[in-house]
Structure 1
Amino acid sequence: MLNTMFFSLLGALSVIIYFFNTIFWLIPILIFSFLKLIPIEIWRTFMSYLLDGCATLWISVNSCNQFLFSRTKIEVTGLEGLSQKDWYLVISNHRSWVDILVLQRVFNRKIPFLKFFLKKELIWVPFLGVAWWALDFPFMHRYSKKLIAKKPHLKGKDLENTRKACEKFKYKPVSIMNFVEGTRLTEEKQQRLSGQFQHLLKPKAGGMAFVLGAMGEQLHKLLDVTIHYPQGTPSFWDFACGKVSYIKVDIQTHSIEDILRDDIYGPDYFNNPEQRVKFQRWLTGLWLQKDQRLQSMSDNNNTDKPAATND
């Protein structure tokens, strides 16, 4: 009983710090967002770096919060050679909302601030929509097949519009995050898994293909991240309470240039069924390797004596 109360107290204090840290940094981000509206390119670039700096400090405080209250140790392999001056596409398996905190902590100050492709409608979310725009989160312009059937001239316009929106990344390094499974793996979903994967859901190539179509020439490296929770998939509350003592993270680096050069992904992906099949097969093969990696991590679980970390 006392043990439960102790963990709950730690969790409550941790959540309070997460909340006030977010509010603290949201205020300057919103102020800088309005200043970024001044239509001078060099000024907007300066504001973008300043805003990314605020987001980086937000993550740094969150990481300090985790060191104080959750005491979670993260063993990371594959961080060698990463740089804040490079352009990345980051993909990962998805088990819990804790994944995002783990990815932010592992990559903070090692690669550019992680950004997600967002639906254009999300720009209208109060406060956050403005913050996402100011932080240069790319907004997707996607048209439904039904609308394109009615208005054929819209075909390809969504990708063209998004590509134009991402032109600013030609001069400013960026990391684009994509969970290619499309949703979190749960026990219910795992029960419905086919025999192809033991620890993963089938990857969906569409989202990753859209990123490559919009930004393929700007991105340099693909970071394939595997997150493993030896004690089982945690909730955010479990993590905040300090019940997650150990996490393993493995990072595999691939060249985007090789993916484009070897025609794994081609410019006619969205119009050529054979190209889509080829890219899906490549991504499925990558996911099968990840599944084997997770099985190996599971076989070597040692939660009693976690190894030294380098996160």
Structure 2
Amino acid sequence: MELLSSSKAFGGQQRVYRHDSSACACPMNFAVYLPHQSEDGPVPVLWYLSGLTCTHQNAVDKGEYRAAAAANGIAIICPDTSPRGEAVPDEPENWQFGSGAGFYLDATQQPYAKNYRMESYVLHELPELVAKELPLDMSRQGIFGHSMGGHGAITLALKHPERYRSVSAFAPIAQPSTAGWSRPAFEKYLGPDEASWRPYDSTALIADGHRVKELLVDQGTADGFLQEGLRPWLLEVACVSAGIPLELTMREGYDHSYNFVSTFMAQHIAWHAERLKAA
């Protein structure tokens, strides 16, 4: 890991690293906040997955998570949202596909299968790397995210409940297999067989028997993507049918921006902290 930057905040360290990724076949950057408690020993880990068009940096600049992370003694890791580089296939004119839009899946279609392996990166490669290099308690991990990252967080937690003790989301894409802004990306990454999309769709995973203990979701009522892209009521129906406790709060007047995310960030971190610190 190459340290690109480090800055003290709330007694801890906000860092950005770069490393060569075998999963994505390119260099990848990620951010990590280490609270001051990590100086005395390993601390719990909370993964934050960002949304479309974002990098690791947007949460660092706008997420306002450090005070709550320091207060609760939790490290927060922000991976990038996709592979990047001149050799990585991309559609620069399309903000819903390619660079910044990896959807936290492992692509199977060419020419994307070589680089767009974000599920493997977030689930295996990056955790294995940070576990060796940083004072983290990998037996206590949680995951959350925003929009596309909320989708990624929920799907990963559903498939790996033994890994993640807690999961929450801000304005997640509840059913990406049918949403207009994600279907085209799924077809390009995964091919036309929609059965292969099910492992990356929260509602399909729940229908197929995957479970988490509980789920926390916040959604703004003034979100411009609410009706066509996010549709949290589909997730609510799936959770009710499966008996999954879902705390879905519709936040009056809030939109899709980081003004919304940062407003409720501390509440989410405290919620995760209760579960990550439990025996």
Whether these two folds match at TM > 0.5 is: no
Name the one with the larger helix percent.
Answer: 1
Higher relative contact order (CA 8 A, sep 6+): 1
TM superposition score normalised by structure 1? 0.28
TM superposition score normalised by structure 2? 0.31
Which structure has the larger Rg?
1
